[in-house]
Structure 1
Amino acid sequence: MYFFPSLLPKPLQSGYSRKYQPNMLRTQMSDGYVRQRLVNQGAPDSLSVTWMFTAAEFQEFLNWFKGNIHCGADWFVCPLLDNTANSVTYQYVRIQKGAFTQALVFRNDETAMHKVSCTLDVSNTVVDDGSWEDHYLPAGSTDDEFGLADTVEGARIADIDSVIEEDIDTGAGIGNVTTTESASTWDEV
């Protein structure tokens, strides 16, 4: 699993826009309204992001882009604002078509500033396994120092069936189920 480099700045809030794209089928009818049906809800969202990098940061981004995520073909974990823009979540993303735009904002004798813009495919799965701490928190610190990283969903989509089965097997979420020997009936406590 690849992570966005922790030493690089997070995306700018200005111009941060998310496009929700449910997977729909539309059928043009010969008369009347168009028929529209939801195929599934698993389509990734599109997110337009922009970063501002110094010359050294841009070079690090370019090396990571070409080497680690194979020119944008691979998915990686990136810190992004959640849907309410109140907190940061760590989500699986990839760069659409591996394409980004780099513009030179200014240059002087000491450094240059680069503006990098791209559109990300954002998976509905949020990283909630704690592995982000190894990449984004300095050694020996807690996430209380940097604010709690909330998740959009409690369980990963791939693991939801095992969570449901475990709840059914253990009785979790249903209430405490006990038996009484005298009546031999099930009582909910």
Structure 2
Amino acid sequence: MAVLPYPHWLPEALREGYGIKHASPLKRSTFVSGRALSRRNYTSTPSEVAVRWLLPDADAALFEKWFQEDLVDGAAWFLCRLRTPLGMDYHKSRFVDIYEGPTLSESNLWLISATLELFERPLLADGSTVYPDAVLNSGIIDLTANREWPK
């Protein structure tokens, strides 16, 4: 089954309450002496993101139908535009469980809260720590290349 695109009518998630929680890739064994051995058990683990949307009446109704029909009550994967330390990008996501709400807010908009599962933990490419200055100064490099590069 194909991964569904993010709906154009659905705004980005609110900042309030937004957070990423990673699943641990480690396996830990504790010995009788009190010492412990930690080792990597998995190389690819999912992450969970807490998201919230404030939607007007029509968008909230459309959201509920999109969740029920297109996402098969949240079981299907879709591309969700999310902010991570890597910036704004689309991530393969699905709902962990049914959303909470809609709850009517003081601004007469509907608040919908959910937890999304990201297929992969958003990380830099392998080898990025070899040249950390390239990552740390990427904003300056991008600005300089776009402003000063000959056309």
TM-score, normalization by structure 1: 0.58
8 A contact 1:2–1:75 mirrored in 2: yes
Equivalence for 2:72: 70
Q: Alignment partner for residue 79 of structure 1, among 55, 78, 81?
A: 81
Secondary structure in 2 matching 1:117? strand
- Quote the offset at 1:77 in angstroms: 0.4
Secondary structure in 2 matching 1:40? coil
Q: Alignment partner for residue 124 of structure 1, among 120, 123, 139?
A: 120
Larger radius of gyration: 1
The verdict on how the C-alpha distance between 1:75 and 1:56 changes in structure 2, with shifts beyond 3 A counting, is same
Count of aligned pairs between the two proteins: 123
1: CA distance between counterparts of 2:6 and 2:106?
A: 25
Equivalence for 2:105: 105
Q: Alignment partner for residue 42 of structure 1, among 41, 44, 61?
A: 44
The verdict on how the C-alpha distance between 1:58 and 1:153 changes in structure 2, with shifts beyond 3 A counting, is farther
8 A contact 1:51–1:116 mirrored in 2: yes
Instruction: Choose between structure 1 and 2 for higher RCO, CA contacts under 8 A separated by at least 6 residues.
Output: 2
What code does the residue aligned with 1:48 have?
A
- Quote the offset at 1:152 in angstroms: 5.7
2: CA distance between counterparts of 1:31 and 1:9?
A: 53
TM-score, normalization by structure 2: 0.72
Equivalence for 2:26: 24
- Quote the offset at 1:35 in angstroms: 2.2
RMSD across aligned C-alpha pairs, in angstroms? 2.3
1: CA distance between counterparts of 2:42 and 2:16?
A: 31
Fraction of identical pairs, as percent: 24
- Give per-residue Cα distances to partners, 1:132-187, cap 9 Å, x unaligned: xxxxxxxxxxxxxxxxxxx9659xxxxxxxxxxxxxxxxxxxxxxxxxxxxxxxxx
Q: Alignment partner for residue 55 of structure 1, among 40, 54, 57?
A: 57
2: CA distance between counterparts of 1:3 and 1:25?
A: 35
8 A contact 1:27–1:35 mirrored in 2: yes
- Quote the offset at 1:42 in angstroms: 0.8
